[in-house]
Amino acid sequence: MNNLFRDQISTFSMSQSTGNVTSEPGKLADFAAAVSSGEQNELQEVLACMNVEERMQKALIVLKKELMNAQLQSKITKDVENKISKRQREYWLMEQMKGIRRELGLESDGKDKMVEKFGKKAGKLAMPEAVRKIFDEELNKLAHLETAASEFNVTRNYLDWLTQIPWGQRSAENFGIPHAVKILDEDHYGLQDVKDRILEFIAVGKLRGTVEGKILCFVGPPGVGKTSIGKSIARALNRQYYRFSVGGLTDVAEIKGHRRTYVGALPGRIVQALKKCQTENPLILIDEIDKIGRGYQGDPSSALLELLDPEQNNSFLDHYMDVPVDLSKVLFVCTANMTDTIPRPLLDRMELITLSGYVANEKKAIANRYLAPAAKEAAGLKEAHVELTGEAIEELIKSYCRESGVRNLKKQIEKVYRKSALKIVQELGEEVLPEDEALTEEGKSALQAEERKAGDADEGGEKAATTSGEVETTEKPRIPLRVPDSVRVEIGKDNLTDYLGPPVFTSDRLYDVSPPGVSMGLAWTQMGGAAMYIESILQAPLRPSTRPQLEITGNLKSVMKESTTIAYSFAKSFMVKQFANNHFFDKAKLHLHVPDGAVSKDGPSAGITMATSLLSLALDAPVNPTVAMTGELTLTGKVLRIGGLREKTVAARRAGCKTVIFPSDNTSDWLELPENIKEGLEGHAVGWYGEVFDLVFPDLDRKQANQCKMCAGVEKPTEKEEHERPQEDE
């Protein structure tokens, strides 16, 4: 009953005698309804009822409901009071018991044990003085905090992280050169530049007795082993290994951690790496650094500046730890597919090592030594007579896997062995190893248990069915099928299409005999090098009224379009100087095209190729189809340096070229190329286009070339016609 009306009820009961109550029942009913907390419509019915007996009945119903509510409220209040009393008593007894046990020395407080544990862990670590001071302050704070306080868990977690960083703990490094060579050669074929750099690193460490951390960055196309070689370096140096990828990372807190004020705050990945490796000198691989993102949480690439700076990372400050952490002993290895997207300040802090990819001979050796045996074992054919011939591997590399790496080659070899496994099993048939004989004793027991559960499910209902479903996922050990010695499968060049389908790539050479106006250039792509043809044609006959024009197609981007314009201007200038009587460009309406129009192309390195194509058309002199060239061209005819010479040389060799023309500034790059890449190729370094012209057109009759064959019969316009001709657009 509402406590507000208790005084009114007491006053009413004292003022009314028994006789008065019975003599005025209507007044009693009205008062009962007035002091109750019933529904509004029920109280209105009592008030509106004129019949005293009915009014009494309605008031009685309201009072009964009020009484039930009062009884329920009283019961709830009593239960709550009992629970509170019980908990208070338990807490009081527990505290008494803890005090007694503490006085007797039987058990120390949990908080005290925690403080003692942190103290012991810190005693084994060589913490710097500044870190030790902060640790003591936090430990003292923990000792005075109540375990129920929110700050207690924050401080405990912080001390836990602080004592899990391996202060002063280092793994013993192996500076043995033969040991490193053995491990690096076991895991990777080729990559001599990378191996030499690691051996230099080890040699310096051996002479000094210690090594400082370095920041290496492996740049190369996908699948060449950038990530896996990081693990091999860690093995060779006997360092702990930790890898994390920053591709698509947009949150700085992933690297530098969160502030401790945030709920669920954690240190960054670098501190987590130290905790996992438990050494101050691990090898940390930062993968896909060229694909790092930027978001509203900050710029992670800027956060890496401090991390990857040898002058600063001896006091790296994580937001969570808030104490300087020495990373100067860590060997950082980064990987990237290209350097264009890496910020310049970050790039300057790293030592770049370029992995140019593998040539066909290297791919074949990798396939024979690593990929084919692993794929054969994975397909269950380790003991079977299944052979992938050398000719098949060569065809596989040439027609299916032209990328610089070996990732796709691995997939295709695995596919060949899987197809072979299917073919063998289908030919042998099920009778060779029936299903009931294929199971081991454990497998048969599991199968019988499954059948029993299935029978119980039919009788016992849903619960047994659920159990049967769980048993169904139990592993049933099987006996491997042994392939008879009589079964032999040989995958050669001729039947390779039965396993992989038609070839994906055809020959790079589009012309066995090049017509005038066609020249072969060399391009760099993320998959490696490629032959790139430049085609030029005359769109309309030469007439006195024809206006010179150049149309460009082939999905060219801005830099390559500018390169085309430069080549066109230079070709006209070259003709004026060398062949003054040949007026081809004065009348020619030309169309220059770069085939493979679905692929966008950019870059300046096709300059000399475009100029050669235009001059070949103007002089009506075809270019030798076995000559390939690359180089940026200026308006004065200077040939400038280009990149990717290794990949371009591989592409030239694959296209069947015999001569490669490249800028003289790239001579050092050419000399550094392995002999197996340059085998069968004659390289010519050029500084000016005149040298290119002499190499491309060695047998040109200059007297005849000075008279344009296509201009024969085209009269020179008179002075009046020249004046009336529309001016050329600028």
Instruction: List active site positions.
Output: 605, 648
How far apart are the C-alpha atoms of 486 and 465, rounded to whole Å? Answer: 46
Q: Is 515 annotated as belonging to a binding site?
A: no
Q: Is 718 annotated as belonging to a binding site?
A: no
Q: Is 222 annotated as belonging to a binding site?
A: yes
CA angle 509, 358, 380 (to 5 degrees): 105
In which residue are the tokens 């192996």 written? 174
The candidate with the shortest Cα–Cα distance to 300, out of 309, 310, 292, 288, is: 292
Give me the amino acid identity at 518. V
Q: What are phi and psi of 57, to 5 degrees?
A: -60, -45
CB contact at 8 A, 191 and 183: no
Quick count: other Cβ atoms within 10 Å of Cβ 588?
25
The candidate with the shortest Cα–Cα distance to 538, out of 529, 548, 530, is: 548
Tokens matching residue 308: 């990857």
Residues 331, 332, 337, 341: what is their CA dihedral angle, to the nearest 10 degrees? -150
How far apart are the C-alpha atoms of 389 and 380, rounded to whole Å? Answer: 19
Sorted by sequence, the CB contacts under 8 Å of residue 81 that are 6+ apart come out as none
Q: Is 264 annotated as belonging to a binding site?
A: no
**DSSP E strands: which ranges in 508-602?**
518-525, 528-538, 549-553, 589-593
How far apart are the C-alpha atoms of 437 and 444, rounded to whole Å? Answer: 9
**3-state DSSP helix/strand/coil % of the chain, to nearest 5:** 50, 10, 35
Tokens matching residue 668: 């050092």
Tell whether the torsion through CA atoms of 623, 625, 626 and 631 is positive or negative: positive
Give, for 216, the enclosing helix (H) or strand (E). Answer: strand 215-219
In which residue are the tokens 């027991």 written? 445
Quick count: other Cβ atoms within 10 Å of Cβ 154?
17
In which residue are the tokens 């929110």 written? 150
According to DSSP, the residues that pair with 217 across neighbouring strands are 334, 352
Q: Is 210 annotated as belonging to a binding site?
A: no
Q: Is 644 annotated as belonging to a binding site?
A: no
In which residue are the tokens 């060695």 written? 698
Measured CA to CA in angstroms, residue 517 lies from 503, 509, 520, 533 at distances of 30, 16, 10, 10
CA angle 212, 215, 216 (to 5 degrees): 125
According to DSSP, the residues that pair with 522 across neighbouring strands are 531
Strand pairing of 659-663 and 639-640?
A: unpaired
Q: Is 221 annotated as belonging to a binding site?
A: yes
CB contact at 8 A, 651 and 701: no
Upper half-sphere CA count for residue 607 (Cβ side, 13 Å): 27
According to DSSP, the residues that pair with 386 across neighbouring strands are 489
Please report how the helices 192-208 and 177-187 are oriented relative to each other, as an axis angle in degrees rounded to 10.
160
Please report how the helices 407-428 and 390-399 are oriented relative to each other, as an axis angle in degrees rounded to 10.
130
Tell whether the torsion through CA atoms of 469, 472, 473 and 474 is positive or negative: positive
Q: Is 248 annotated as belonging to a binding site?
A: no
In which residue are the tokens 């003085």 written? 129
In which residue are the tokens 């016992």 written? 460
- The annotation places the binding site at 220-227
- The annotation places the binding site for ATP at 220-227
